[in-house]
Each structure stands twice: as structure tokens, then as C-alpha cells.
């Protein structure tokens, strides 16, 4: 961890992957993740050059939103699958992975980039994943935990408009009729 902090302070944390291979064997890093790892350890090991280590990080119950965002773009499909299956991962990121890696979506349904944009905007507005799910339920009328994959592009755009208003970048949109009774 001291190595990661030092590289981070120097602004060269992107060099962590190469240094890790010279310092610790892969199995030691996997053991670190499987132990009661803190968020900082997970963030450091999410940059590991070995997919096996990143898969273990992606499935860890203490995964942070930062690590979820980083691993959602991983080139290894097994890392993304582990993240998607992790109940602690950001639900909109898991939905983006499902949409991206799954079968083609019907026209009008939200795609991966829509889910990721909503997650990023919520993060910019300092909203948690739970806040975003609650907002989705209140404004769209879907049970976000069960029906997130059924969101349409129009519904995601409504959430993005609400998030923009929340951050002071536009007026609050009118609440749709179907969600008013909630």
C-alpha cells in the first residue's frame, strides 16, 4: 500500500502494474484481496496487470464505486462478469455490463452508454447508487432493482434531466403522470 500511495502522490500511479509484477507474486496479491481488504487495497489491485487478480477484486463485497467504474471497462470479459454478478457493485454499472456483453437490445431500450452516463452523472452530483435507484423508482415508476434492464432511452434521459436539475444545470422536469402516485 505504501508503494501505491507513493506512486499516487507522485502522479505516476499508472506505473503500478509493472511494479507489482516485480514486487509480489500473483497469488500473494489474490490473498490480499481475499483477506479483509480495505478500499484502498482494492483500488490499487484493480489496476493489476493480471486478470485473475482483477476478477477477485471485481467480486469483493467491499468494492467501491471508483473500482466498479474502473473495472466496468476492463478488457477481460471474466472481470466484467464477476463485477456484474457482485451484489455490492453499482447497479447501473452492472446493467451497463449486461447490456454491453449480452444479446442485442430491442430498439428504444437503454444501452450500456446510457446506464454508464446516469451512473457518472449521479456520482458527479454526489449521489450514491441507492439514491440513484430511489430516483429511478420515484421518477420512472420501475422497481429499479428488478426492472433496471427494462428502462427505455426516454426514461434514462428523464433521470439525466433530474440529475442535471439536482446539480443546478437546468430546470426540474415535470414528473410523468404514471409516477405521480408514488
74 grid coordinates = 476492463
Q: pLDDT digit of tens for each residue in the chain (182 aa)?
A: 454 555 456 555 555 555 555 445 555 555 555 555 778 878 888 888 888 888 988 988 888 888 899 999 999 999 999 999 999 899 999 999 999 998 999 999 999 999 999 999 999 999 999 999 999 999 998 887 789 999 999 999 999 999 999 999 999 999 887 644 44
pLDDT, residue 168, reads 92
Asked if residues 45 and 57 have their Cβ atoms less than 8 Å apart, the reply is: yes
The answer to whether residues 26 and 70 belong to one domain is yes
pLDDT, residue 126, reads 94
The answer to whether residues 80 and 113 belong to one domain is no
Burial 36-54 (b: 16+ CB within 10 A, else e): ebeeebbbbbbbbebbebb
The answer to whether residues 2 and 83 belong to one domain is yes
Q: Domain range holding 32?
A: 1-89
Q: Which of 66, 89, 112 is the endpoint of a domain?
A: 89
The answer to whether residues 131 and 80 belong to one domain is no
Structurally, how many domains does the chain consist of?
A: 2
Q: Output the CA–CA distances (angstroms, integers) from residue 67 to 50, 74, 107, in the order listed.
A: 16, 11, 31
Amino acid at each position: 500500500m505504501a508503494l501505491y500511495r507513493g506512486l499516487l502522490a507522485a502522479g505516476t500511479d499508472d506505473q503500478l502494474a509493472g511494479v507489482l509484477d516485480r514486487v509480489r507474486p500473483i497469488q500473494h496479491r489474490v490473498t490480499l484481496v481475499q483477506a479483509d481488504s480495505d478500499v484502498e487495497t482494492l483500488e490499487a489491485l484493480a489496476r493489476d496487470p493480471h486478470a485473475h487478480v482483477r476478477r477477485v477484486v471485481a467480486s469483493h463485497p467491499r468494492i467501491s464505486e471508483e473500482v466498479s467504474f474502473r473495472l466496468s471497462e476492463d478488457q477481460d470479459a471474466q472481470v466484467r462478469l464477476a463485477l456484474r454478478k457482485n451484489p455490492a457493485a453499482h447497479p447501473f454499472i452492472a446493467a451497463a455490463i449486461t447490456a454491453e456483453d449480452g444479446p442485442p437490445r430491442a430498439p428504444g431500450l437503454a444501452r450500456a452508454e446510457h446506464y454508464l452516463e446516469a451512473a457518472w452523472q449521479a456520482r458527479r452530483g454526489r449521489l450514491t447508487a441507492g439514491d440513484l435507484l430511489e430516483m429511478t423508482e420515484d421518477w420512472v415508476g420501475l422497481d429499479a432493482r428488478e426492472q433496471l434492464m427494462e428502462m427505455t432511452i426516454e426514461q434514462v434521459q428523464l433521470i439525466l434531466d433530474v440529475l442535471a436539475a439536482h446539480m443546478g444545470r437546468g430546470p426540474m422536469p415535470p414528473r410523468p403522470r404514471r409516477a405521480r402516485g408514488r
